[in-house]
């Protein structure tokens, strides 16, 4: 491994993740065909931009429902279907059914795969029973089940080709993320930081299901796959056991750092990028160093190729949000960039070839836990957010309720992905405009039991009643270009197209399309349930379609999904979203639109 001299300790994981081969050719070819939606993120760069332009800013107001499909499951529907040729692959939350629909034959169900899972896994799924999608490559569909089973299915018949066990739900390990296929490997992470797991990513051979490698995010070098001399921080080798030195004793074994967001991949650099989640527990006092002072628990809260964006996390600002790969000119120089909208409220732009931090600015003006990220390379805290003492859950101490911290633990944006349009050079970002009170307390570790150690309450920023926006972001300048309010957090992934529009769903149950230039609302339609899924598009027989799942749930909708009503339930989310039940209820429907 080598390591860049970035302020934010950006790790380029050439040993663990950059395989000695390039993108899977089948996937790469299909993602270049805008008629297909061949990967959950749209492409390896996570741009979520489609070159289709039949539906555009001048006619999107004429959209009509072309067809719908009920999944038969009433929990939170995240992610989106895949479209491979003339077949659509639809997935569901637990029990993680998969349908193959024939677009040439009135969307007839060609096959349905219904895995058999122990329902007890539901009790250790942190924030609803969601699943973010399946992957495709070389005639196979890859499903990552809630119980951590990775399954390869024959794409034509739905028959199992192989299975692999990736974790142990009895310890709190679960599977919620969409896999990625690179060359001949399918890569998955693991969920469960709220249960004190040791987070990791794992690669399996797509032909046989044999495990190729596993890289942990915390632990000794032989587990995190670091070369201590070639992996550098700020130009210097990290040294032996760089992770273990930041934990007390064997605490790293239950240190968290799970991986449940999105992978991106740069075939030219041959690097995979992803983010790791929070350290365990949420009570920072229990994770302090031997001298009782804060210490960065490496490598949690990191971008892996890796960027430590919230060192010594005190607020559950997981670093799992997507990393969007593009190119921008900054200060007169063209850079191959990685753009990351972190849960902590900062929008980061980095040079993805060497980890240089180029921009770090708040993408919501209500951010108040930090006064900013230090950009002076001569300063010892270069690249680190400067914490405002009154918002520090560590400095205030355990059993003290730190008030009005913005953003809340679910971040100004969670894993719901933004989109980038090369036509405007802007990013279209779904926002959770939510703040919190945060009270840590001492907690004991028991395998399979929550290892959180904090009570949270969430609410809108002072003086505001809405908890959501959609914004356009200039990643080269670190500036909001425009912002439009939504009643509730925008928990839907965004799609941008060559038709000059970007589209998203809303928690109360609307599908909307807007003009990329100014965000003006051009189309709005009520869908059967609240939307936490991601908008996608495809073309069939010369006609463009745009679709999305509705089915409220996830962290924001956990109150509805799991029948919770105590304000501090759902790790604090239930109270903030109590009003959702006045607008929507559970559902599970795919809605697809086209022009008349």
Domains of the chain with CATH codes? 2-594 (2.140.10.10)
More confident site: 577 or 10: 577
Q: What number of other Cβ atoms are within 10 A of residue 449's Cβ?
A: 15
Surface-to-core class of residue 129, CB atoms within 10 Å of its CB (0-12 exposed, 13-18 middle, 19+ buried): buried
Global pTM?
0.93
> Are the C-beta atoms of residues 321 and 411 closer than 8 Å to each other?
yes
pLDDT of residue 239: 85
- CA atoms of 493 and 282, how far apart (whole Å): 27
- CA atoms of 349 and 371, how far apart (whole Å): 18
Among 573, 196, 579, 192, residue whose Cα is nearest residue 407? 573
Q: What is the pLDDT of residues 415-443, one digit of tens each?
A: 999 999 999 999 999 999 999 999 999 98
Surface-to-core class of residue 63, CB atoms within 10 Å of its CB (0-12 exposed, 13-18 middle, 19+ buried): buried
Mode of pairing for the β-strands spanning 426-432 and 346-351:
unpaired
Mean pLDDT of the chain: 90
Active-site residues, by number, are 316
* 332 Cβ contact partners less than 8 Å away, ≥ 6 residues apart: none
List the helix and strand counts (H, then E) for the chain.
4, 42
Share of the chain above pLDDT 70, in %: 93
- Find where tokens 């926006």 sit: 469
Q: What is the pLDDT of residues 337-351, one digit of tens each?
A: 999 999 999 999 999
Bond before 108 cis per omega within 30 degrees: no
CA 248 vs. chain centroid, Å, equals 29
Judged against a pLDDT cut of 50, whether residue 540 lies above it is answered with yes
pLDDT of residue 281: 86
pLDDT of residue 232: 63
The DSSP string of 151-200 is EEEETTT--EEEEEE---GGGT-B--SPPEEETTEEEE--B-GGGT-B-E
List residues bridging with 329 in a β-sheet: 334
pLDDT of residue 7: 30
More confident site: 399 or 34: 34
* 586 Cβ contact partners less than 8 Å away, ≥ 6 residues apart: 74, 75, 529, 551, 552, 553, 560, 561
Surface-to-core class of residue 525, CB atoms within 10 Å of its CB (0-12 exposed, 13-18 middle, 19+ buried): middle
Structure tokens at 380: 């010892």
Share of the chain above pLDDT 90, in %: 72
- Mean pLDDT over 156-174 rounds to 96
Judged against a pLDDT cut of 70, whether residue 56 lies above it is answered with yes
- Mean pLDDT over 154-160 rounds to 98
- CA atoms of 580 and 530, how far apart (whole Å): 9
- CA atoms of 19 and 194, how far apart (whole Å): 30
């Amino acid at each position: 491994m080598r390591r860049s001299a970035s302020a934010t300790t950006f790790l380029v994981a050439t040993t663990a993740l950059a395989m000695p081969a390039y993108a899977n050719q089948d996937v790469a070819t299909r993602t270049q065909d805008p008629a297909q939606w061949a990967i959950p993120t749209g492409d390896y760069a996570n741009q979520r931009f489609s070159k289709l332009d039949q539906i555009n800013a001048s006619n999107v107001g004429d959209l009509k429902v072309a067809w719908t499909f009920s999944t038969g499951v009433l929990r939170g529907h995240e992610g989106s279907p895949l479209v491979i040729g003339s077949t659509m692959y639809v997935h569901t939350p637990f029990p993680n059914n998969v349908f193959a629909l024939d677009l040439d034959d009135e969307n007839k169900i060609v096959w349905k795969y219904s895995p058999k899972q122990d329902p007890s896994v539901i009790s250790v799924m942190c924030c609803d029973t969601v699943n973010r999608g399946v992957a495709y490559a070389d005639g196979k569909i890859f499903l990552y089940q809630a119980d951590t089973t990775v399954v390869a299915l024959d794409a034509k018949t739905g028959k199992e080709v192989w299975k692999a066990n990736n974790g142990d739900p009895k310890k709190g390990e679960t599977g919620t993320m969409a896999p990625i296929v690179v060359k001949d490997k399918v890569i998955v992470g693991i969920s469960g930081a709220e249960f004190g797991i040791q987070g990791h990513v794992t690669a399996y051979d797509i032909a046989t299901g044999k495990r190729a490698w596993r890289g942990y995010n915390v632990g000794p070098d032989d587990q995190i796959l670091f070369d201590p001399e070639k992996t550098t921080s700020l130009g210097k080798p990290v040294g032996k056991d760089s992770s273990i030195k930041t934990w007390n004793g064997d605490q790293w074994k239950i240190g968290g750092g799970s991986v449940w967001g999105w992978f991106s991949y740069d075939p030219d650099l041959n690097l995979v990028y992803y983010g790791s989640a929070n350290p365990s527990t949420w009570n920072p006092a229990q994770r302090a160093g031997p001298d009782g002072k804060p210490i960065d628990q490496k490598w949690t809260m990191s971008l892996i190729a890796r960027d430590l964006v919230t060192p010594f996390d005190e607020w559950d600002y997981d670093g799992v949000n997507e990393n969007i790969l593009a190119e921008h000119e900054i200060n007169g120089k063209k850079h191959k960039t990685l753009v990351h909208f972190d849960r902590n409220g900062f929008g980061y732009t980095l040079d993805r070839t060497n980890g240089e931090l180029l921009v770090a600015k708040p993408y919501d003006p209500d951010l108040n836990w930090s006064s900013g990220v230090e950009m002076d390379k001569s300063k010892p805290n270069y690249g680190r957010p400067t914490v405002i003492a009154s918002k520090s859950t560590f400095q205030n101490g355990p059993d003290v309720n730190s008030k009005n911290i913005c953003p809340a633990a679910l971040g100004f944006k969670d894993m719901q992905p933004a989109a980038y349009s090369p036509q405007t050079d802007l990013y279209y970002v779904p926002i959770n405009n939510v703040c919190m009170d945060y009270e840590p307390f001492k907690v004991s570790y028991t395998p399979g039991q929550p290892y959180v150690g904090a009570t949270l309450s969430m609410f809108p920023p002072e003086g505001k009643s809405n908890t959501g926006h959609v914004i356009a972001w200039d990643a080269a300048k670190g500036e909001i270009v425009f912002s439009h309010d939504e009643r509730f957090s925008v928990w839907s992934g965004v799609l941008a197209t060559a038709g000059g529009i970007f589209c998203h769903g809303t928690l109360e149950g609307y599908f909307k399309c807007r003009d990329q230039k100014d965000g003006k609302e051009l189309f709005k339609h009520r869908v059967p349930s609240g939307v936490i899924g991601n908008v996608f598009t495809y073309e069939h027989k010369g006609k463009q379609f745009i679709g999305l799942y509705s089915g409220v749930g996830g962290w924001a909708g956990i109150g509805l999904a799991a029948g919770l009503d105590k304000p501090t339930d759902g790790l604090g989310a239930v109270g903030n979203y109590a009003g959702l039940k006045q607008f929507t209820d559970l559902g599970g429907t795919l809605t697809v639109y086209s022009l008349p």
